[in-house]
């Protein structure tokens, strides 16, 4: 993929509703059968893209061979089914040189772009963050979406730094989990043309779109996907009452799916509803508690009854 010029960046800038796909495991290995089933299921629902090997995809537990296979199988199943759904690959790390080399090695992978988290643990300055992402932008043949999630990384990339990075043609947007509504609103207001702001805060999906966000990357959209899409579509046509009604139908579901560390509840739900063959996670993540399993089973049964 060619790096977009600043003039045509909007053609590749992520918009709408993206799903950070879980990584299915079975007996300690990547479950390719379930992965293909997930691709077939979500490929038909009207999503705007998928993120592989993100936080919800338990990326830090994947080795490089597994990550490559995850991408290959997903891209192959999309091609088999004729689905035109872009794939972004999640990356993270605090070693700029190592991450730059990794980006070089991924140049020919069948992906549309990268979701790259801010460096974790080292807590660089704003100048360090700018330098880090500039090196990565120079090293990538694919567009980059910056993932700002300070409660995981320990560092918040401020809007002045983000807007400097937005000057790079292949830095096409941000997944915003900064945790500060004022910072988010300012970024949305000041973002340049073609630079997308997508919320990654499931509980703030409706509020972010109301504030003018370009979309969202939401783990909870694994469940009741059609309702999340209905909110996107209602905003697109300017139908605020319909968006509000669809959001109210999800207000109990979203906190339930995050009642314990993500993606345990989502994997349990997908296993119970037959989309994956096992709810297996990799340590340090653990399965849902017995108490949460009862609550999830109740929600699943109520949704089946209402269907």
Separation of first and last alpha carbons in the chain:
42
pLDDT, averaged per 10 consecutive residues of the chain (307 residues), comes to 45 91 98 98 98 97 97 98 96 97 96 97 97 98 97 97 97 97 97 97 97 98 98 97 97 97 98 98 98 98 86
Pair 133, 165: CB distance under 8 Å: yes
Q: Which CATH number belongs to the domain containing residue 171 in this structure?
A: 3.20.20.70
Q: Choose, from 88, 101, 121, 147, the residue flagged as catalytic.
A: 147
Would you state the pLDDT for residue 8?
Answer: 53
- CA nearest to 20, candidates 303, 246, 225, 206: 225
Q: Is residue 261 part of a domain?
A: no
Max Cα distance, the chain (Å): 54
Burial of 55 (0-12, 13-18, 19+ CB in 10 A): buried
CA-to-CA distance for 86 and 15, rounded, in angstroms? 11
Q: How many structural domains is the chain composed of? A: 1
251 assigned ligand-binding residue: no
* SS3 track for 76-130: HHHHHHCCCCCEEEEECCCCHHHHHHHHHHCCCCCCCEEEEECCCCCCCCHHHHH
CA-to-CA distance for 128 and 116, rounded, in angstroms? 15
Please confirm, yes or no, whether 175 is among the known catalytic residues. Answer: yes
Would you state the pLDDT for residue 38?
Answer: 98
Q: Is residue 180 part of a domain?
A: yes
Q: Is residue 297 part of a domain?
A: no
Would you state the pLDDT for residue 139?
Answer: 97
Q: Choose, from 42, 175, 205, 267, the residue flagged as catalytic.
A: 175
Q: Is residue 174 part of a domain?
A: yes
> 197 pairs with which residues across the strands?
174
Pair 187, 211: CB distance under 8 Å: no
Pair 237, 259: CB distance under 8 Å: no
- CA nearest to 50, candidates 3, 135, 115: 115
Determine how many CB atoms are found less than 10 A away from the CB of residue 237. 9
Please confirm, yes or no, whether 304 is among the known catalytic residues. Answer: no
Would you state the pLDDT for residue 151?
Answer: 95
Backbone angles phi, psi at 254, to 5 degrees: -60, -50
| Cβ contacts of 109 within 8 Å, gap of 6 or more | 68, 71, 89
Peptide bond just before 184 cis, omega within 30 deg? no
- What is the domain range of residue 106? 9-242
Q: Is residue 291 part of a domain?
A: no
Q: Is residue 211 part of a domain?
A: yes
Would you state the pLDDT for residue 266?
Answer: 98
> 88 pairs with which residues across the strands?
51, 113
Pair 181, 1: CB distance under 8 Å: no
Q: Is residue 247 part of a domain?
A: no
What is the number of residues in the chain?
A: 307
Q: Is residue 18 part of a domain?
A: yes
- DSSP 8-state assignment for residue 3: P
56 assigned ligand-binding residue: yes
Would you state the pLDDT for residue 306?
Answer: 81
């Amino acid at each position: 993929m060619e790096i977009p010029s600043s003039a045509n960046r909007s053609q590749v800038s992520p918009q709408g509703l993206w799903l950070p796909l879980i990584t299915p495991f079975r007996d300690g290995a990547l479950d390719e059968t379930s992965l293909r089933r997930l691709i077939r299921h979500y490929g038909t629902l009207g999503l705007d893209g998928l993120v592989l090997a993100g936080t919800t995809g338990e990326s830090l537990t994947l080795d490089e061979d597994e990550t490559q296979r995850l991408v290959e199988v997903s891209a192959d199943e999309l091609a088999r089914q004729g689905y035109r759904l872009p794939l972004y690959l999640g990356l993270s790390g605090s070693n700029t040189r190592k991450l730059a080399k990794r980006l070089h090695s991924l140049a020919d992978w069948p992906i549309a772009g990268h979701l790259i988290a801010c460096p974790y643990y080292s807590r660089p300055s704003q100048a360090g963050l700018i330098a880090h992402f500039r090196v990565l932008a120079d090293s990538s043949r694919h567009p980059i979406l910056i993932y700002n999630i300070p409660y995981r990384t320990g560092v918040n990339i401020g809007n002045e730094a983000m807007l400097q990075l937005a000057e790079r043609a292949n830095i096409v947007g941000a997944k915003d989990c900064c945790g500060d509504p004022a910072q988010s609103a300012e970024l949305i207001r000041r973002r340049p043309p073609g630079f997308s702001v997508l919320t990654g805060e499931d509980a703030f999906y409706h509020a972010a779109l109301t504030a003018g966000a370009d979309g969202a990357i939401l783990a909870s959209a694994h469940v009741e996907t059609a309702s999340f899409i209905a909110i996107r579509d209602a905003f697109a046509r300017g139908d605020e009452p319909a968006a509000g009604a669809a959001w109210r139908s999800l207000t109990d579901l979203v906190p339930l799916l995050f009642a314990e560390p993500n993606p345990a509840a989502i994997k349990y739900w997908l296993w119970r509803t037959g989309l994956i063959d096992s709810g297996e996670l990799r340590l340090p993540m653990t399965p849902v508690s017995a108490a949460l399993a009862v609550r999830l089973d109740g929600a699943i049964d109520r949704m089946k009854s209402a269907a």
